[in-house]
Chain A
């Protein structure tokens, strides 16, 4: 399995796309920190990168990679190797390359310019979101029949998590505004990894705002050690469950 992952990794590095992605992240992060006079404003822009660009790239890149190496996967399936192992080594190869791109492109500048609690929260969220969306992309590509549909599905999923979900939440919160919604907002935030990551970063970035109104609830819940464990746990669920579903589907698939 290690050997297979290594080949996947070689393959990805050779294609140079991941290098371009790393450079893009690095240039954006460094220029943010150079441009803004205080690092908190730069962090705000990086927050958008982590919450929007990162899931998008993870989804699209993984889907394209899956279909490009479809023949390789077919070849490997003819060897005495379980399909679970094949998919897992694919996952390991892709996620390692995406993670190293993120850590070099965003992690390094953040460590240099803003190595505080907000910075660490941002990196934690970035790492989690990369893993989550790689895993979701595998599910999408296993389900879809061809490349075009696969990428379409991946984009749709991104659209849902980044935009539509928050719109739906807004709708729910306004429709039921006469009821106590504290517990519901906690639940709603757990149902979208992007929202969960955002709230996790905001607890470090905007504590004074979050102490107002019902925000105090977030502070009490997510700010405590249980909250941090909860965030990490839910993120882990978001990583494992889609991938597990993908593996299940992949095992029965007629390649």
Chain B
């Protein structure tokens, strides 16, 4: 009855530009078919179980409270392709799972200038899946998945081959990767909270010239991974409580020319792990109460660690080789035992952040059993007095006496 009325109304006002059309459960596909560029579709409360809906027109979809789109665990819910499409305040749930396709609650393909705002996406395989699109904004969405295994769970916000995207103020949890970037350039990830995902909170692959700032990545299975990218700016983020044998605050693999500044790393098993990484500036970060603050493989070169605070970490720096091509200067180390006779606030003897025991653990992980034992402390002291095994060049020549105010 309602739908017929709408069709009638639509037919009457066909010529008018930018109308607002009400949508009721059961009539979504028809309404979309009759809408025109510039229209606004207002979703009335109710559960919409209408399979997969494809939108190619430049329309705005707004949900009233209680408007729910349900995929019945079988279908993708929305496929968007085109330009100037807006999806606001809708709730999506139970999008289907497929082993062949990346089914998503909202799939965006070949689009330009899209806005997803204030939506809630529950219990989906992929939540938002964007490919080959430009100027996509994803803001204030709340995405909650039900984590199963890595194969059966998709990513929260997944971008593939995009540019100029803005991911802002979203809350993602319970997916495989919270936010996933592959071949994404010139994009910004800002002020998001990504937690309790079974793999990475944020996963970067082959994505250059991006920045992420003021995000919180907490308690993810493996922390954050930034791989095979260039010119990534990472500032003012919080990396917290990423615990596990393969969990990292940030895992850097084959990254170059990037900047990591003003971040806080708190209680991670490894705060930063660097592998094949070069020309990075890592400045003014806080490393507090981590297992390993920095693990730097011998394959890294020209990385600069300046003006960071290292406090309460079990190991400050660990490495697997003796060749040192990186600089650690002007940092504050709470384990520094030197003196400052010249009273300029800079310690007069260099600080060697790599302890003998951290080399031993790197060589043979089982020796973690002897952590903090008297024997190991004696060995460490002996090594500090007469360095033989630890890389002698890996030193902070100008350690700061008091913690920096960051």
Contacts and interface: CB of A to CB of B under 8 A. Distances in A.
B204 interface: no
A202 B376 contact: no
Contacts of B366: 173, 177, 181-182, 185, 214
A168 B13 CA distance: 89
Nearest to A162: B374
Interface in A182-212: 182, 185, 188-189, 195, 198-199, 202, 206-212
A41 B243 CA distance: 22
A62 to B, nearest CB: 21
A190 to B, nearest CB: 11
B367 interface: yes
B88 to A, nearest CB: 40
Nearest to A51: B374
Contact of B372 (A202, A207, A214): A202
Interface residues of A, number: 38
B82 interface: no
Nearest to B362: A213
B320 to A, nearest CB: 14
A157 to B, nearest CB: 15
Residue among A181, A202, A208 with max Cβ neighbours from chain B (10 Å): A208
Contact of B291 (A52, A162, A188, A206): A206
A211 B243 contact: yes
A162 B371 CA distance: 13
Interface stretch (B45-53, B134-142, B267-275): B267-275
Interface string A148-174: 000000000000001100110110011
B375 A163 contact: yes
Interface residues of B, number: 35
Interface in A17-59: 38, 40-41, 44, 47-48, 51-52
B203 to A, nearest CB: 21
A96 interface: no
Contacts of B270: 212
Contacts of A199: 369
B245 A166 contact: no
Nearest to B335: A41
A170 B370 contact: yes
A223 B372 CA distance: 18
Nearest to A166: B375
A227 interface: no
Given A202-B371, A212-B245, A166 B315 contact: no
Nearest to A206: B314
Contacts of B311: 38
B244 interface: yes
Contacts of B244: 211-212, 216
B334 interface: yes
A214 B378 CA distance: 24
Interface of B: 241, 243-245, 247, 267-270, 289-292, 311-312, 314-315, 334, 360-361, 364-378
Interface of A: 38, 40-41, 44, 47-48, 51-52, 162-163, 166-167, 169-170, 173-174, 177, 181-182, 185, 188-189, 195, 198-199, 202, 206-216, 218
7 shortest interchain CB distances as A-B pairs: A209-B291, A166-B375, A213-B365, A209-B314, A211-B243, A208-B291, A212-B269
Given A169-B370, A208-B291, 19 more contacts: A41-B334, A48-B377, A51-B374, A166-B370, A166-B376, A173-B364, A174-B364, A177-B364, A182-B366, A185-B369, A202-B371, A208-B267, A208-B290, A209-B269, A210-B291, A213-B245, A214-B365, A214-B368, A216-B245
